[in-house]
Amino acid sequence: MAGHRAPKPAILIAAVALLLSVGVPSSPAAAAGGAFSQAATGGGTFTGAWVGPCCVGIANANPLIAGGDQHFLSKIYEPLVTYSIDTSTGGYGPIVSALARDWSTSGDGLTWTFHLQPGVTWHDGSPFTADDVVFTLTLCESPTVGCVYGGGISNISGAADVKSGKSTTLTGVAAPDPQTVTITTDTPNAAMLDALSVIWIVQKKSLSSIPIDQITKSPYWTTPGQAVGTGPFKITNYVDGQFMELSRYDGYWRGRPVLDKIVRREFKDPATALLAFDRGEIDFTYLTADEVTREQANTNATIIAGPSQVDNAVVFNPLVNPAFGNKLFKQAMQYAIDRKSIISSLYNGAGQTLPCLFGNPAYVAPDTQMYDYNPDMAKSLITQSGVDMGSLPTFTFDTYYNDPLSLNVMTAIQQNWADVGFNVTIKQMDSAAWTNQYYKEGTSQVSFIGAQNGPDGNIAATYFLSTASQESGAGNNGWKGYVYSNPQVDMLINQGRSTFDPAQRGMIYQSLCKVLADDLPWNIMWQTTRYWIVSNKVQNFQLTPAPGGGSYYDAAETWSIQQ
């Protein structure tokens, strides 16, 4: 992810977004970017279903490792900086202040200085200070905690020693006074703001009493009165498997929220949530592409659509079979999939094929290998790979996408692969069960997944930098006992991160894209349009669909419900 960087700019991809009005005209603000600008009325409860490819579930409440549940958790916790919504496109706009009021970099690009917002308090009323930031960033580098997107800050001075267990002090982060944080890196980090936009600051006082190796396992994160953030809402009720309730925090630093409560109900799949939405039981939910036409007849709702800024990818676990570590075999599997036909027929044409992790076109050179559908080339590469297809068993093709559309997509891939002699059975799983199997147990064989793709090229550090943290699925492929390691990939990621000039960064990431497209640590398929649907009784609602809600300022303290 990228945006306006102080004082040096970086490449920004403006995600092209679309808002579809359903049954009623949308306001100009809504048409521009999913913002509903009616006059707010006080009170009320907003009930939503954060479900689908963005989200794991209400128990996924630790903001450090929660990944796609960011949009909900951003009502409780906040980062130092975040993205704005570009009202002309509905995608990401420039990076703006959150818990940091302003920031600057040293002349050599090695030290960032952040001045914090004055008067910010935690939900328990205690002051937010620089010590909380130091504590959080240290947790991100801890081998027993980690941050899901911690790869972006892995070059902070002292991070390697903390990660290896040699030290418990992150020497590169300091608090010269309660309102100032300095971050010093071993090499310049042009993507520092982007990296910090997806690291949610947690409270030192309440978490320090928990042994560090128990923090990720602790019930703290779902316990009302214990888990505290700085956001506009605080946890006031939680029933495992059913709902999490948030109530407004009157002391919120941006101003007292309008809504009384936000309730997140638990749904195991988008189809069930959509039925609840149609019955008027909830105000907001995810919408799959195959349901858009039907919901256009709903005169009480508005569909918000935009590029997901999430890649769908097929990932082969190289610990399962030697073929899955064979580059030529993976290239063959890429050629075997008729990706353009799948986008056309199943995603209603709302998507684009990608050769590598990056969705930002500035990072993809015209001569990058695109792997257009070619079953004959797939068969030729299988022969060159030396893999005996007849000796391979039928593998399990798993996913946490448990909606009918994803099943149809995986079935199409399954049929394409069968045509070249590779056989799989499809297994759609509950998100929490899949997360445990993939990250903690490391037993997934072939997986259909999603991964954030930008807009800043340093997102590659999270997934493919060999020194990125493996804890809690924080980096690389996430399997126990395996680290994807390519010296050329590491070199280019580090060069891109160290370079402030936008044009030079673009060229570096183009080279990285070519290497990733050739090596295929993951078989990147496409990015598609994603859809959400919201009741028209919701006022001042802001959203960009990417990625799974993502890190951006949506002014949740101004949301309201027509009474």
For residue 321, give every residue at least 6 positions away whose Cβ sits within 8 Å of its Cβ, in sequence order, or none: 392, 395, 445
Tokens for 255, please give them: 């101003």
Q: How far is CA 505 from CA 14, 247, 443, 454, 492, in A?
A: 17, 43, 36, 14, 10
Phi, psi of 278 (to 5 degrees): -65, -30
Check: pTM over 0.85? Answer yes or no. no
Query: By the 8 A CB rule, do 342 and 413 touch?
Result: yes
pLDDT tens, position by position, 3-17: 222 222 222 222 323
Q: How would you write the pLDDT of the chain (563 residues) with one tens digit per residue?
A: 222 222 222 222 223 233 333 332 233 223 334 444 444 567 899 999 999 887 888 999 999 988 778 889 999 999 999 988 876 666 678 899 999 999 999 999 999 999 999 999 999 999 999 999 999 999 999 999 988 877 788 899 999 999 889 999 999 999 999 999 999 999 999 999 999 998 999 999 999 999 999 999 999 999 999 999 999 999 999 999 999 999 999 999 999 999 999 999 999 889 999 999 999 999 999 998 889 989 999 999 999 887 777 899 999 999 999 999 999 999 999 999 999 999 999 998 989 999 999 988 899 999 999 999 999 999 999 999 999 999 999 999 999 988 889 999 999 999 999 999 999 999 999 888 888 898 888 899 999 998 888 778 988 988 898 875 443 334 444 576 788 899 999 999 999 999 999 999 999 999 999 999 999 999 999 998 888 999 999 999 988 766 545 688 999 999 999 87
For residue 340, give every residue at least 6 positions away whose Cβ sits within 8 Å of its Cβ, in sequence order, or none: 353, 372, 373
Look at residue 212 and give its three-state secondary structure: helix
Q: How far apart are the C-alpha atoms of 27 and 554, rounded to whole Å?
A: 17
pLDDT tens, position by position, 495-541: 999 999 999 999 999 999 999 999 999 999 999 888 899 999 999 99
Look at residue 240 and give its three-state secondary structure: coil
CB environment 400-419: b (16+ within 10 A), e (fewer)? bbbbebbeebbebbeebbee
